[in-house]
């Protein structure tokens, strides 16, 4: 970039929050729970994305949270998908806390629901096009309406809502790929839920014709206001998951109260491993 970009390190959402000096992105990673997480600020993310767009170099981004960490340790396809990402961005206060606990502090949380509006602000500033793929019915359209109101110059290359189970039907799967490929977006936001979006993205990102693909989970519902997001103070104390569980208990109870309990076991194992063989776990 030309030295300009988003003015808020937390991925500012304001209409005029797009101008500031960007930091040079760092290439180092911090290993937490055996996952190499990118040690990078929001401004560094913007620079890294812009650089790849300028080079026309396709790549994809994943955003680990507690659920991702647990899935990473039980799903081989998901773990393989993570290895191909060019950025692995921490989505969740517990991941940030763990990095500080183990003496490998990450700069900030970079969740999909923050990245979508913030990156759209950057895209509007520099003429990059964006594509909205997935989400619940109508959520992407409402997200686009809201973002275009905030960023009138935003170039929306397209919106596509694939039918449930599309990835298992060769014809529907190809139709989904073609919808993005015809649009040729610079950035494609994929909201398919985890682990589907990471596995599908890893398999098809080079077929999509998008330069940057990024898995954003339920971001469209949050950005559009279809689902109410936790207040900032709830996010900061690490209880956004509890807020979401209270608002969507039927959908989330098994994930949070059964599947993700293994996180505490992983946390204990990580602590014991680091006590036994302390090292920097930072690579360039």
CB atoms within 10 A of CB 233: 8
| Alpha carbons 195 and 200: distance in angstroms, whole number | 9
Q: Cα separation of 193 and 215, whole Å?
A: 8
Which residue in 151, 122, 105 sits closest to 49, CA to CA?
A: 122
Q: What is the pLDDT averaged over residues 119-131?
A: 95
pLDDT band, very low/low/confident/very high, at 227 (cuts 50, 70, 90):
confident
pLDDT per position as a tens digit, 2-32? 433 333 334 443 333 333 334 444 458 889 8
pLDDT value, residue 120? 95
pLDDT band with cut points at 50, 70 and 90 for residue 114? confident
- Least reliable range by pLDDT among 88-97, 202-211, 236-245: 236-245
Determine if the peptide bond prior to 195 is cis (ω within 30°): yes
How far is 274 from 103, CA to CA, in rounded Å?
10
Task: Give me the residue spans of the domains in the chain.
Answer: 1-284
pLDDT at 273: 79
| Cα–Cα dist 232/222, whole Å | 13
Half-sphere CA count of 88, side-chain side, radius 13 A: 24
43: enclosing H helix or E strand: helix 42-55
């Amino acid at each position: 970039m030309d030295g300009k970009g988003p003015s808020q390190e937390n991925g500012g959402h304001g209409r005029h929050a797009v101008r500031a000096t960007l930091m040079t992105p760092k290439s180092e990673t911090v290993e937490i729970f055996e996952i190499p997480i990118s040690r990078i600020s929001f401004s560094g993310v913007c620079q890294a994305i812009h650089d790849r767009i300028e080079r026309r170099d396709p790549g994809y981004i994943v955003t680990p949270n507690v659920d991702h960490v647990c899935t990473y340790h039980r799903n081989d396809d998901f773990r393989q998908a993570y290895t191909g990402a060019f950025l692995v961005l921490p989505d969740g206060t517990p991941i940030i806390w763990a990095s500080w606990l183990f003496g490998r502090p990450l700069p900030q949380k970079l969740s999909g629901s923050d990245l979508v509006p913030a990156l759209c602000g950057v895209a509007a500033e520099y003429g990059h096009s964006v594509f909205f793929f997935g989400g619940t019915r109508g959520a992407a359209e409402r997200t686009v309406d809201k973002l275009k109101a905030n960023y009138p110059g935003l170039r929306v290359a397209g919106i596509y809502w694939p039918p449930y189970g599309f990835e298992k039907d060769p014809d529907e799967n190809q139709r989904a790929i073609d919808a993005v490929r015809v649009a040729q977006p610079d950035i494609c936001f994929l909201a398919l839920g985890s682990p589907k979006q990471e596995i599908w993205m890893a398999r098809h990102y080079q077929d999509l014709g998008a330069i940057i693909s990024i898995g954003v989970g339920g971001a469209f519902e949050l950005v559009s206001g279809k689902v109410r997001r936790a207040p900032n103070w709830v996010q900061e104390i690490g209880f956004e998951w509890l807020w979401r569980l209270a608002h969507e208990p039927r959908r989330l109870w098994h994930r949070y109260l059964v599947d993700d309990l293994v996180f505490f076991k992983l946390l204990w194992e990580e602590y014991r491993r680091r006590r036994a063989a302390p090292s920097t776990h930072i690579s360039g």
